[in-house]
Structure 1
Amino acid sequence: MKFEHMIPYANPLYFIWLIIALLPMILLLLYKGKRWGWYQIALTLVFLYISFGGQYWQQGVALIGYVIFQTLLVYGYHYYRTKKPNNRSSIFYLAVAAAILPLFLVKVTPFFDGQASIFNFLGISYLTFKSVQMIMEMRDGLIKEYHPFRYIQFLLFFPTISSGPIDRYRRFEKELLEAPSKEKYVDFLEKGVWNIFLGFFYKFILGYYLGQVMLPGVTKEIMSHGLFSWSFFGYMYVYSLYLFFDFAGYSLFAVGVSNLMGYDTPVNFNKPFLAPNIKEFWNRWHMSLSFWFRDYIYMRLMFTLIKKKVFKSRIVASNVGYFALFLIMGVWHGLTWYYVLYGLYHALLICGNDAWIRFKKKKGKNLPSNKATKVFSIVVTFHAVCFSFLIFSGILDQLLF
């Protein structure tokens, strides 16, 4: 069997190496209910080398430099807090800005010179979210002790490094220090196998057929006939479904492999296309990212706006918070007009949804509410989301400019 460097979960050969390497850990957890810490570290180094070695060596160097930088940064902020518990907000904001700086450079550099940043590596966004989370929870007093080696293991947990989900440090640390019992691990093992097989079905069957077989055809159709044709709907539906099954497949692999290692990594998708409204959609789609943005950006921004009495109306403050949140989310995907439009479009949908809920509270008795209206809501939400993914795809940029 020839050894190759490869992107995580993109090649079935990756899974062969993975199962061979995980087998000792699985047997130890299954029969002894414990882990070898040194084996997990060795496993991490091997699979980081598979993902960031060989032709990807520059990403590997960037990853090493990034982890050193973030580890020292978090240590510095923790040290400052222990010396000055009533720390100034300016130091906190400076630490958060420093944590975001590498990702900012990665996103901005191509906009100016058209080339990828030397700081870029696969998964930098997810690691940055973990780093910022760490600093914010230290500031809130939720994380009182800092163990650099545990933090590095949190950052470099290889099952989730490339595609998420974005875990929380306190949850991860607890499971890092205490392996599941033999009885509990049997449940983990069953979940892990199920998630991996479902991930194969999503990514390598449905995702492959939608992305490699159908998408080129509908793309050709929409490029030939333009937006104002039936090909518009064909492209919109196929791209949206492809995006879901491909990404959800990756996430299921990450969760499944985590389960096999004895970690209950949170799931990332929960039937998002069955959501009856746009807010519920974001509670089901890329959940770890949605909840991260909600907890660490939206809620903090709302607290500041209300505390400082920037707006008299909480509704106005909430709407401003949503537009700021989704604008940031759009820009995070990239500095292009269609990513920005994607974010603003979802902010508009969320604000509209809240306005509809307020209207229903006033006029609720006069409005029907049954299975038919729920199905109608799901269909409307599905199409609103699919249209947003059409914007996200960048096809409008090709058709209009």
Structure 2
Amino acid sequence: MLFNSFTFFVFFVIVFFVYWFPLKLSTKGQNIFLLISSYVFYAWWDWRFLGLIILSTLVDYFVGIFLSNESKENKRKVLLGLSIVFNLGLLCYFKYYNFFIENWIYAWQSVGIKSNITSLNIILPVGISFYTFQTMSYTIDVYRNKIKNSNSLINFATFVAFFPQLVAGPIERASHLLPQFSIKRVFDYKNTVSGIYLIVWGLLKKIVIADTCATYVNVIFDDYNNMNTLSLLLGAVYFAFQIYGDFSGYSDIAIGVSRLLGFDIMQNFNKPYFSRNIGEFWRRWHISLSTWFRDYLYIPLGGSKGKFTLKVRNVFVIFLVSGFWHGANWTFIFWGFLNALYFLPLLMFNKNRKYLDTASISFNKTGIVNFLNIIATFSLVVFAWVFFRSKTITIAFSYLNRLFTDLNFSFQYLSIERYSIEIVILIMLFVLVEWYSKSQEHPFIGKFKSIYLTITIFLIIILGVYSDHSDFIYFQF
């Protein structure tokens, strides 16, 4: 059930009215209804995998109870290990089994030995990378005594399966979202309006920006051998805006839908393409995952403390694991490796926490430096996105080789129905609007916000790409 589908619109309208009217006086009733709705939402994809969410919920719920009732450290470690092994076991089997098997077979074949092991036809359950990390963070925090275990199975199950952010995040922390299921929610007009604004802005990002860019990205990447430098450059830039519009659009809709139900979930994107170095980029891109790896992997490894060699190791571990989290392909691992390389100079010169404010551009030295740094950082990010988008590392290098050696900057005719020059103008306007609202959640601010909203809805209707197959990119992760 896609956020950008009529089916979801009908589903949510029903959920919204039942939730706020017949059930408004019963928090428990609202939670039970949300849980049932969330299971229906997930089962819409494939009901067979609903059992995985329920099993993961039960395991971590009871592990949390046992952790709170156990005082012996060795037994608590065993309980935590059970949760981690179970969740990572699910993830490894469904997401990485074939990757490891295929590489095992290839490794033996490279030395002339044939292996009888075969890969399996495994379907990847939607959202498994997100909800397993969400439940793992719960048991880790209970183990660390940062939060108390949940005493309500209904509340915990609803926290795990909460449909707005179930299949593509943000990856919520139990310390933030779980307590919200225990308190009475009151309908708030301001929250409702801000939620609607976020939904509209998220839809524009997805079906106008991302899906329009996708039509060009697919044509260019699929036929890169016949593309010139300008087309390949545009293809890489288009993909940068496709993945940003797609994923941040999903996050905006998820946050907006949650607000309409009286919940606050964390911001997942904060204008990442206005970053002035790669450290700032990763503080603004997929924030829920970046902070998850920071808190549960990077800091436990030692973080930025200790010897420089250990710092370098920790940086490469977190970026390589982050790349691997995105998919069972060497392209994602190499993408993570590239970002680690980008980050190293900042670590060496202690500049990784340099930019903690919002960038500004003006006609002075600081403004010009900011502008140049933004362009340089965006260029590095776009370069790395080529590996993320390509099917193999070989294809990515071939793409880049042709990009830097063809040196033909003429416009090519692309046999697709959408416009060409107009998309460049559309992206430029989108960037200007993002810059105008860079300190806000959305551009619907000021005395002309109603006009901005009307124009946005008009653009969604006129320029939106409406397709039954326009899934969100991060559903595959």
Deviation for aligned residue 1:81? 4.8
After TM superposition, list the pairs within 5 Å mapping 1:231-250 onto structure 2.
231-250=231-250
For the structure 1 residues 374 and 77, does the alpha-carbon distance in structure 2 shift closer, same or farther, using more than 3 Å as the test? same
Q: Provide, for residues 85-119 of structure 1, a one-character-per-residue CA deviation record: whole Å limited to 9, x for no partner.
A: 4335751334322221101111222323555536x
User: Residue 81 of structure 1 contacts residue 87 of structure 1 at CA under 8 Å; is this kept in 2?
Assistant: no
Matched with 1:334 is 327
Q: Provide, for residues 199-256 of structure 1, a one-character-per-residue CA deviation record: whole Å limited to 9, x for no partner.
A: 11111111221113x2234335523147xx3333111101111111011111111111
CA distance in 2, matches of 1:49, 1:299: 38
For the structure 1 residues 242 and 115, does the alpha-carbon distance in structure 2 shift closer, same or farther, using more than 3 Å as the test? farther
User: Residue 63 of structure 2 contacts residue 139 of structure 2 at CA under 8 Å; is this kept in 1?
Assistant: no
Q: Provide, for residues 25-53 of structure 1, a one-character-per-residue CA deviation record: whole Å limited to 9, x for no partner.
A: 34589xx7x55432442344245324424
Residue identity matched to 2:378: F
The yes-or-no answer on 1:323 pairing with 2:311 is no
Matched with 2:218 is 216
Deviation for aligned residue 1:13? 3.2
Residue identity matched to 1:332: W
Residue identity matched to 1:203: K
The yes-or-no answer on 1:102 pairing with 2:90 is yes
The yes-or-no answer on 1:398 pairing with 2:395 is yes
User: Residue 26 of structure 1 contacts residue 260 of structure 1 at CA under 8 Å; is this kept in 2?
Assistant: no
User: Residue 25 of structure 1 contacts residue 36 of structure 1 at CA under 8 Å; is this kept in 2?
Assistant: no
CA distance in 1, matches of 2:267, 2:14: 24
The yes-or-no answer on 1:41 pairing with 2:32 is yes
Higher helix proportion (structure 1 or 2):
1
2:148 to 141, 144, 151: 144
Secondary structure of 2:284's counterpart equals: coil
Q: Provide, for residues 342-365 of structure 1, a one-character-per-residue CA deviation record: whole Å limited to 9, x for no partner.
A: 11111111122222446999xxxx
2:66 to 79, 84, 88: 79
Q: TM-score, normalised by structure 2?
A: 0.71
Secondary structure of 2:149's counterpart equals: coil
Residue identity matched to 2:389: S
CA distance in 1, matches of 2:126, 2:88: 16
For the structure 1 residues 220 and 335, does the alpha-carbon distance in structure 2 shift closer, same or farther, using more than 3 Å as the test? closer
Residue identity matched to 2:87: A
User: Residue 84 of structure 2 contacts residue 136 of structure 2 at CA under 8 Å; is this kept in 1?
Assistant: yes
Deviation for aligned residue 1:289? 0.9
For the structure 1 residues 181 and 264, does the alpha-carbon distance in structure 2 shift closer, same or farther, using more than 3 Å as the test? same
Deviates more, 1:389-398 or 1:279-288: 389-398
1:381 to 374, 377, 383: 377
The structure whose RCO (Cα within 8 Å, separation 6+) is larger is: 2
For the structure 1 residues 192 and 116, does the alpha-carbon distance in structure 2 shift closer, same or farther, using more than 3 Å as the test? farther
Matched with 1:345 is 338
Matched with 1:365 is none
CA distance in 2, matches of 1:68, 1:77: 14
Secondary structure of 2:16's counterpart equals: helix
Secondary structure of 1:290's counterpart equals: helix
Q: Percent identity?
A: 23
Residue identity matched to 1:194: Y
Deviation for aligned residue 1:300? 1.1
CA distance in 2, matches of 1:317, 1:117: 37
2:367 to 355, 371, 388: 371
The yes-or-no answer on 1:67 pairing with 2:54 is yes
Residue identity matched to 1:195: L
User: Residue 207 of structure 1 contacts residue 242 of structure 1 at CA under 8 Å; is this kept in 2?
Assistant: yes
CA distance in 2, matches of 1:201, 1:27: 30
Q: Number of matched residues?
A: 369
Secondary structure of 1:106's counterpart equals: helix
User: Residue 240 of structure 1 contacts residue 389 of structure 1 at CA under 8 Å; is this kept in 2?
Assistant: yes
CA distance in 1, matches of 2:210, 2:338: 26
CA distance in 2, matches of 1:21, 1:73: 27
CA distance in 2, matches of 1:140, 1:188: 33
User: Residue 43 of structure 2 contacts residue 49 of structure 2 at CA under 8 Å; is this kept in 1?
Assistant: no
After TM superposition, list the pairs within 5 Å mapping 1:82-93 onto structure 2.
82-87=69-74, 90-91=77-78, 92-93=80-81
Q: TM-score, normalised by structure 1?
A: 0.83
